[in-house]
Amino acid sequence: MGIVERIKEIEAEMARTQKNKATEYHLGQLKAKIAKLRTQLLEPPKGSSGAGEGFEVTKFGHGRVALIGFPSVGKSTLLTMLTGTHSEAASYEFTTLTCIPGIIHYNDTKIQLLDLPGIIEGASEGKGRGRQVIAVSKSADIVLMVLDASKSEGHRQILTKELEAVGLRLNKRPPQIYFKKKKTGGISFNSTLHLTHVDEKLCYQILHEYKIHNAEVLFREDATVDDLIDVIEGNRKYMKCIYVYNKIDVVGIDDVDRLARQPNSVVISCNMKLNLDRLLAKMWEAMGLVRIYTKPQGQQPDFTDPVVLSADRGGCTVEDFCNHIHRSLVKDVKYVLVWGTSARHSPQHCGLAQMLEDEDVVQIVKKKEKEDGGGRGRFKSHSNAPSRISDREKKAPLKT
Ligand SMILES: Nc1nc2c(ncn2[C@@H]2O[C@H](COP(=O)(O)OP(=O)(O)OP(=O)(O)O)[C@@H](O)[C@H]2O)c(=O)[nH]1
């Protein structure tokens, strides 16, 4: 029997089983069995990267956004509108067969937008191009789920289910469960609060299903069995998702109003160019990018070419900023001067642990320079445009 058939069989058994206190252990075990089989199903064939031909697109820019949705909802039209890159759009389904990248220029940053083939129900079982689409989506920072405003609301649920089945968790944060496998010592089960969904016995049974006999488990929130399985599997991807309802030009104002009020949703019309700026603003907000402008000593900040940091990738402290410029920079930093919303007063003298915020301006004062020149210190040739800064530095008077 194939993996898909085994999953279906277990799902049928779960549907037949009544949910009550007596069956919860059995149901928990069945859930763990399904999770294990799904992980097996998703393992890429040996020797392949997971993506397929036409899907291996090099990462570019400061972030990556994937467009996913059913066929003919307007993904290609949206890519063309936002990036100017032409992606085949037509009124028949499955016009896009591979991954088409485009670049959005927004707020001094470049964001890579990927148009992907429409996915269908059963994508999680490898139907259609589902497997490749999902593999590429996982490589993105956020997902835009494009939906047809004139079609059933059920589409959103079906897509979310398909993505959940392959380990993508949309608009959720990782469960607050500490889990560590050990070599000896048995299982230690603890919680910092009263648990209503999982008890020690259920936890033991699930771990047993994974053949884990020595581990430390600490619940820091009232998590569910599914959360525990997610933590044990350890391969879940937690992503922000914006639900983009396209084609609002063909639905009534009441429907538009209802859709627009849902959380994480934006209503747009590509054909009439409606609300695209709102979509860009929402996308920017969800990506959580932080632009830091560098200021050479005695000169105006360089507002053309920010260093772009992200809390999800690498972090946003002064140390992360320095590492982004050059790995060896951190050990030379005496302190930094920060102007902007993260500073309590302008400029603020900060250390490496200071959290930076979007549009802060940073000047680095190096140890050696201070010692060498008594105030002649300056931030040299470590920005994204080194030659330009050092050229300007040569001419400019050295003020803070
Ligand atoms: N009424 C209306 N039609 C739209 C809008 N945006 C796109 N369309 C139409 O929807 C059809 C499908 O658009 P595509 O951009 O090819 O859709 P897709 O999601 O890329 O489709 P696949 O490549 O099959 O996955 C085309 O005929 C578009 O003209 C819109 O805002 N309003």
pLDDT of 124 above 80: no
pLDDT at position 113: 93
What is the mean predicted confidence (pLDDT) over 8-21?
A: 85
Q: Is the CB–ligand 1 distance for residue 347 below 6 Å?
A: no
Q: Report the share of the chain in percent with pLDDT over 90.
A: 36
Distance 107 CA to ligand 1 centre (A): 27
Query: Could you tell me if 168 and 25 lie in one domain?
Result: no
At residue 324, the pLDDT reads: 86
Residue 58 domain flag: no
pLDDT digits (tens, 9 = 90+) for 222-257: 999 999 999 999 888 899 999 999 999 999 999 999
Q: Is the pLDDT of residue 374 over 60?
A: no
Q: Judge whether 57 lies within some domain.
A: no
Residue span of the structural domain in which 389 resides: 289-395
ipTM > 0.95 (yes/no): yes
Amino acid symbol at 373: G
Any domain includes 335 = yes
Radius of gyration of the chain (CA): 25
Query: Which positions ≥6 away from 208 have C-beta within 8 Å?
Result: none
Give me the amino acid identity at 398.
L
The pLDDT assigned to 135 comes to 79
For the chain, the average pLDDT equals: 82
Same domain, 305 and 374: yes
Claim to verify: residue 263 and residue 219 sit in the same structural domain: no
Q: How far is the CA of 270 from the centre of ligand 1 (A)?
A: 8
CB distance 271 to ligand 1 below 6 Å? yes
Distance 74 CA to ligand 1 centre (A): 3
Nearest CA to ligand 1 atom 27: 91
| Final residue before a domain boundary, out of 287, 302, 322 | 287
Ligand 1 and 86: CB distance under 6 A: no
Token pair in block for residue 69: 């949705």
Place 221 in a pLDDT band, splitting at 50, 70 and 90.
very high
> Residue 384's pLDDT band (boundaries 50, 70, 90)?
very low
Q: How many domains does the chain have?
A: 3
Q: Of 342, 311, 170, 326, which Cα lies nearest the Cα of 242? A: 170
Dump pLDDT digits (tens) for 272-283.
999 999 999 999
Residues 190 and 210 in one domain: yes
Whether 354 lines ligand 1, by a CB cut-off of 6 Å, is no
The CATH number covering residue 157 comes to: 3.40.50.300
Q: What is the reported pLDDT for 40?
A: 78
C-beta 193 within 6 A of ligand 1: no
pLDDT in tens, 41-56: 766 655 555 555 556 6
Higher local confidence (pLDDT), 89 or 70: 70
User: Relative to the CA of 92, which ligand 1 atom is closest?
Assistant: 24
Res 105 pLDDT > 60: yes
